[in-house]
Structure 1
Amino acid sequence: MVEGDTLTAMKKNKKASVEDKSCISALIEEIRARSRRFESISFSFVPRKANNTAHILAEEGKYHACSMYWIEEAPERVEREADQDR
């Protein structure tokens, strides 16, 4: 299950057979290509207010030049937000 706070992107990914010609078409095509690796996948819109921890995690990733993977713990800012969401 993929949740996102960008309604346009979530709608475009649900319509996998429709060719996208928008300014985000490269991103949509990459998401579709990666989606094919899963047996099943679904896309759902979730308002940012309900998805704030994921938003902060994505923001945190912008501060790093290379890919980062947080397995057992996340940056302190993200963990604080997750605690507040509970």
Structure 2
Amino acid sequence: MQWAKIIIEGDALSIIKKCKMNSYDRSMIGALIYDIHQIMTKSSNISFEYIPREGNSLAHSLADETSKRKDEIYLIGGVPEYAEHLKDRDKEDGMD
């Protein structure tokens, strides 16, 4: 898919910083960071942003529930039915 801009948000500040840096990472996840940097060289429209865990409850719930399921789920233009109530709750809490 071709998107104008891709923003990857996460609540692990150290990982976000490593993805933003353009240097070799010698940590245990260095190979993954290297792969991310290789993907970034092919596309200039990817950015990484830190978001506190409290503001990330919907994403966390989606990842947690999806990992329990065996079917493939694509989150394009919405969320699965089982997450609709979480989306509505976040809107009520002013997190949207």
TM-score between both structures, scaled by the size of structure 2: 0.71
- For residue 21 of structure 2, what is the aligned residue in structure 1? 15
Superposition CA RMSD, Å: 2.1
- For residue 84 of structure 2, what is the aligned residue in structure 1? 79
SS at match of 2:68: coil
- For residue 4 of structure 2, what is the aligned residue in structure 1? none
Between the aligned residues of both structures, percent identity stands at: 38
2-side partners of 1:49 and 1:8: how far apart? Answer: 17
Per-residue CA deviation, residues 41-78 of structure 1 (Å, 9 max, x unaligned), is 21111011101111111112322457532446533442
Flag structure 2 segments of 5+ consecutive residues without an equivalent. 1-6, 92-96
TM-score between both structures, scaled by the size of structure 1: 0.77
Counterpart of 1:11, as a letter, is K
- For residue 61 of structure 1, what is the aligned residue in structure 2? 66
SS at match of 1:23: coil
Report the structure number with the largest CA radius of gyration. 2
How many residues align? The count is 85
Flag structure 1 segments of 5+ consecutive residues without an equivalent. none
SS at match of 2:9: strand
2-side partners of 1:67 and 1:34: how far apart? Answer: 23
